[in-house]
Each structure stands twice: as C-alpha cells, then as structure tokens.
Structure 1
Amino acid sequence: MRHYGTVLVDVESRRPLDLLPDREASSLAAWLAGRPGVEVVCRDRAPFFAEGATAGAPQAVQVADRWHLGHNLSEAAERCVADHRRCLHVLAPDPAQPAPEPQKFEDPSGSPWPRGHRFADRTRVNHATVHELLAAGLSRRAIGRQLRMTSRTVKLLADAATPEDLFQGQWQGRPSKLDAFKPYLDDRWNQGCTNAWRVWEEIVPLGYQGSYQRVRAHFREKRLSPRPVTARPPSPRVVAGRILRRPETLTETEHLRLKAVLVHCPELDALTGHVRSFGQMLTEPQGERLPQWLDAVRRDNLPGLHTLAAGIDRDRDAVIAGLTLPWSSGVVEGHVNRIKMLKRQMFDRAGFRLLRKRVLLYS
C-alpha cells in the first residue's frame, strides 16, 4: 500500500521548506497557520490542498498550476472524443499518396510456370543466385558452402539454362478439381470469410472431391495479391491529441483527417474550439476570459467538458489566478523526482524522519 506525503517549496528560492507525512488538509492548514507571512500558495487542484490553504492561510492568493489544468483539459477532451467514437470512421485520403499499382511480373519467355507459387518462386531465386555466383568466378563447391546447398542441388541449378527446366512438367495449365468452385470461394472471400478450412467444409457437400490443400493454396494466393489499403479509424486518444495540438504543428495528413472528422461531427468541432480557446488562456495571461469560456462550454452538448467546467467553477478564483499570474508549482515536480531518487538510494527503506532530514539538509 502506498502512502503519499506533501512537499512544501519556496517558489522564489526554489528550495524545499518542509515535508509533511500525509496529504490531509488539517496538516497543511496547521503548517500554514504557523507562518502568517505566506502571500501566495501554488498548488494542484486536489481538494485537500485547497481546503488546507483556505483554512491555514486565508489571506494568501491561491494559484492553480497551469500544467495540471492542461492535463485535466486533455483528459476531458479524450472523454468527449470517446463519446463520439462512431464519427472517427470518416477519414480523409492521404494527399499525394497514389494507390499502389499491382506488381507486374515480366516473363518474356511466355513460361506457363506460375508466379506467386512458393516452390516456383524459390527455384527462380536460387537459379539466379547460383548463376550470378558462377559468373563471379566461384566454384560449385564454394557456392554450395555459401548457400548451404548440397552438391546435387547446385549441379541441377547450374546445369539448367532456365528455371523452367527444373519444374519437370508441373503446373502445365491442367484443369483443377477446384476450378468449378472458385467462383464460390471468391464470393465467400468477398463476404469476409477467409478461413480455408471452413470453406472447404462448405464445398465438400456441394461435390468438391479435391484436397483441402488446394483450397488453402487458393486463399493464400488471394492474401498475397495486392489489395487496396484501408486505414483503421484513429483512436480517441489520437484524435484528442490532434485537437490539443497547435494547428500549425499538424502535418498536412493530420490536418486533413482531423478536418474530415470535424466536418462530420459538429460536437467535436465545438470541442476543438473550446480546447483551443482554453489553450490560449494557458499560454497567455488571459484569465479574465475564463467566465465567458465556462458559459460557452455549458451551451454545448459535451458532457465530458461539462465535468471539467464544473470542477473549474468550484475552484474559479485559483484557476483565474493560475491563468493570470506568473507563479506555478512546476518547481515542485522537480523536487518530487529528487525525493524519489533519495528514496531509491536508501532502497526504499527510509522512514519519514530520515527522508525529511536528508531532503532538507541536501538543500
């Protein structure tokens, strides 16, 4: 079970002032009450920190941290996108990306031997490799060692003028028992059934007397044939990430895909406007715009964003201060990482008193 404490840092000097053994509002209030000179309290939006700061230092201005506000915004945006997951199936085509053309095999000899068959293609590759090495001056024995072939295999490949001399009369365009059933196989493939065993069980009662291997080979050929590439719809996290980023940082493809989704879904288009408006307040001192932003959010049907707006409204003064004043609790995160490092140095076995002493003495 994990136990969390509280680190108190002087934001001006960037030095830790104290460690508290818990995250209770009463502990923070008692600490602040003993230091009446505190004027500004930078904190995250946890309710116990807000209660403790209000009780212990009512005169201080509370400043909500901007990073945590941005993090809350990203979580709310992802929830909103997830609520409209069906709208993500609308994708814009990639610009300047022509559809791939099927690979063409040139065979000037007019050979009947099949292309795309595993044995035939492997034989062609081995035949070409052996003849290239022979032309380079290697002996047949050296070729066998390099390609890990037997002397008989090397001799067959080297003596054959063309790969077709090695096929011994196979695949001569003879009719197959499967030919009459290929239209049925193609129909099942187009319907989404790509299980060769299931289709074989379906055609046996229809009169097919061939082997299952022929059906499997036919399906394998269809899998290896060029097919139009269909993109998966992006996940809610990906779309939310594009909404949260600055428009100028998006690539052309990302911009077009996001635009296609927003045109199809008015709710996500409204979400994008709210997110980017809040992003401007995070990067520029425009906290006075927060009330108008909250009103605009409530007018749209975005439950995920309504939850965020309700939480911000409960902490409105601190959020406005965080969007206006230059203070932030970013320095605290650095000290949290340093405290974790000190704990690891003591193999996570240090008690609170020793850890507190090391943190304060180290600073």
Structure 2
Amino acid sequence: MLPVVDLAGELVRINSVSPKAKSSTQNSGEIALAHWLTDYFQQNDFIVETQPVVGQRANLIARPRRFPADRPTLALEAHMDTVDVQGMTVSPFAAEIRDGALWGRGSCDVKGTLAAMITAALQWHHREPAPGLNVMVLAAMGEEMGTLGSQALAKQQWPFRSVLVGEPTNLQPVVAHKGLWRLSVETFGKACHSSRPEEGVNAIDSMFRLQEKIIHTLAPVFMANGENTLSMTTLHSGSMINIIPDHACLEIDARFAADTEVEAHWQAWQSSLAGDAAKLMELERKPAFSSRPDSPLLFALQSTAEKHGVVFQPHSERYYSDAGHFSAAGYDAIIWGAGDIRQAHTVDEHIPLQQLHLAVDRLLTLFEQYGRR
C-alpha cells in the first residue's frame, strides 16, 4: 500500500483531462486512470466493478473482498477527471513536491482527496479484527464536463445510504449548493451583403430585442428571491464583417436555490419568447443540493471534528458538484475533502501535504464515528 502522498502523486502523473465535449467517447485519460486504479485496488484485496457511462469511459466501484451484508456501509466518492492544463505555470503531470505541497493538475481538484479516500479505505479494511463498517470507494468519470458519472451512479441502488462527496473544502463539510440551469436562445434571419441591409433580416437585431426582454422581464422574476443568479455567458453570430448575419446564439447560465420552481420559470420563458422567431432550448437542469436535517454523516463528521479538537464549520458553496445527484436520489450526501477550492483549476494548482495526511486521519476517525450510529 502506497503512502497517501505517493498515491496522490501517481494519480496526478496520469493525464485525465476531461474531453471538451461531455458526450465524447474518445479514449480519454480517465480510462488510463481507471485502469491504473483497478490494478491498485485489486493488489490491495478490493473487488472492482465498472459502470460504463459514455463509450469506454466508466465509473469505478471498489469494495473490500470482505463485505458482510449485515454491516452498515459508507461510500466515498470523488471524480477522476480534471480540467484542461492550458496556461499552467507548473508542470501539470510531474507531480512535483516542494514547499510542503504537491503540485500539478488535479492535485487539489480532486486527486488529493481521492488518494486520501482510497488510503483510508484500504487501511480501514486491513485492520484486524474486521471492522464493523463497510467502506466503498466510487471513482466517477466526467464530473468537470456535465457530472455524467455521478448521474449514472445516483440512478443505481447501492448498499449504502450515505456518501461523502470529495471536493476541496479544507476538511470542513459543505452542506448545500445551488442547482444549475442552462439555456440557449437562437434567432434566425436572412443573410445579404451589408451594403444592402434592407434585403436581409439581421439575426443580431432580433437577438437584441430578446435580450431586452430577458434582462427587463424574465431575469428579474427568476432572481426575485435574492439568491438565484442568471448570467448571459456566450453570444455567437456572424461570419464576416460585410455580411448581414442570419443566425445568432445566446447561452445562459443560471443558478437556483433548492426551493425554486424551475419548471414554472421554464414554462414562462417558453411563453414569453414564443412568436419571436426564436428557438429556446434547455441545455441542462441539475438539482440543488441540501443535506438532510437528520444526516447521520453530518453528525459523524461533527463527532470527528470534536475528536480532533477542530472547529466544526458546515457551510454552503456556490459551485456545482456530484452531491446534487446523490441528494436528489435520496442518499444522505455531504461534500468534504482536502485542499482549498481557490486552488482548483488554477495555473499553479497544488495541495498542502499536511492536508493529505490530516484527511486520512480524519477519515479513519469518521469511519469509527459513523459505524457507531
């Protein structure tokens, strides 16, 4: 069994950048990482199951060979993929160790936490006598581009009721985040030479009128609760400066609180924009996450913090995560992990080595506390 820092370094060295198209079936680095992890788990007496999601891109489900069905089970979940490496000022896959940190793409988000979860699970199940809690590890594909892996995992029935979702949280629990709603609006016109604009129909002009309606009518209603946000994030149109454009496309990213009736807003948008020679599409709608008031996992994390003499600070976050899908499917989910979210996706991504060691220690205590509930 590798020490946690060595394991994290091995994971960082494997390029597992998520494909730019979330539905891509190309031979992504996730597949190489999944193969490496499969071998590692099997060498350490864990059984590995794969769950294909897109082509050969699959989730891994690892459980100890000794897995008594009459004992409670806790799942640890983290994603295998990373964002791109463009513009990085440190070598993305060298896994350099200096200044008390591990540097490279994915070190913070979220291979460091994945390494800590695996290390703790292996140490737990190599104890004698056999512990009274089963611990499974779920390694998900495609989180950075669509959370595809966790969507597939959450649709299955598993022998656990609680899942700890790995994200960099400085070892504090995240108990809520907003849902995700993404739309596209297209307008269509008639192309012609810009010297004779009267012979065409300008799709940009049509888009401008729709934007006015969105800005002054639809968006304020959506954001009326003071928590929801709505942003126009991409706008594409035109092919040449001397051609009146016949097409324009606007994309919108919205984030919503758990009590938002998104379907009602969707119906209002469709009604409002109908008849404007526009095409409105819903690209994504993902559930908000809020932990259960009686969460056994959160109580166990609180007991763990007390055992280690650290302040317990549950909080909410603004990003989206795999927890949304698990929570919506009825699982008791909490987000937790090593590292600082402000280091995720950065040009010099890194994670303090101390956080990796602390994560393993606290996970082992968490297993003890959860197993008593």
Q: Which has the higher strand share?
A: 2
TM-score, structure 1 as length reference: 0.26
Q: Which has the higher helix share?
A: 1
TM-score, structure 2 as length reference: 0.25
